[in-house]
Amino acid sequence: MRKLILSILILVSFISLTFAQQKDSTRYKLTWKKAALPAAFMIVGFTQVGHESKELQVDLREDFPFFKSQLDNVAQYIPAGAFLLNGYLPHQNFKSRAIVTAISYATMAITVNILKKTIHETRPDASGDNSFPSGHTATAFTGAELFHQGLKNSAPVLSYAAYPIAASVGIYRLLNNKHYLSDVIVGAGIGILSTKLAYSIYHPRMSIKPEKFILNFSPAKVLGQNGFSISGRF
């Protein structure tokens, strides 16, 4: 079953890439080179499903038997929030950002839920049979890729800032005993690829003037854990 699903995902990726390459040259093109990293995540994740991931999870529970945090439930939305609410992203108005965000998350959610309902992998803590792939991780990496795409031309170094946040969400899902490593890796790949596909479908339109909105980040306690607070000012 897993090999069949992997074959279907590769086929869908091929169709998506072919479709994207036929678009206007002024649009973002989802080429094989751009899709290589998320595709690699998904392939590695599928190959790790089973014994290896479960052994790692056993080791993590032995090292962190009492770890429990709700921070991942909040942090998964920080990257997308930073992209969507940042009024100083060059050449992208709020409406365009909202549209590409909606397409990204719709693509991600459909993919994740189809896999969850098809594979029925039991969670490490036995709280459900929808472990594979990690929806939290996919959500976080969808937002991280949105943030990267929005800033990569004007601030290439800063554009990668959301990825550590997304990675921390995946780590917290492991430590909270909600997912195996394979779930997290595939979730990350789905999130990144969903955003790249969304940009090939709809590229955010040019905005003549920056929006008068300032987004601020600051350290804060979130549900008793160290985290971030986000505030905006018009």
Q: Where do runs of H (alpha helix) occur along 89-220?
A: 94-119, 135-151, 162-175, 181-201
Does residue 38 contact residue 192 with C-beta atoms inside 8 Å? yes
pLDDT in tens, 142-170: 999 999 999 998 889 999 999 999 999 99
CB atoms within 10 A of CB 206: 10
Number of domains comprising the chain: 1
Residues 171-189 pLDDT 10s: 999 999 999 999 999 999 9
pTM of the model: 0.78
Lowest mean pLDDT among 74-83, 176-185, 221-230: 221-230
Are 142 and 80 within 8 A, CB to CB? yes
User: Which residue's entry shows tokens 């089973």?
Assistant: 50
Burial class from Cβ neighbours inside 10 Å (0-12, 13-18, 19+) for residue 38 reads: buried
Q: Residue 60 is part of which domain span?
A: 2-233
Q: Which run of H or of E encompasses 80?
A: helix 78-85
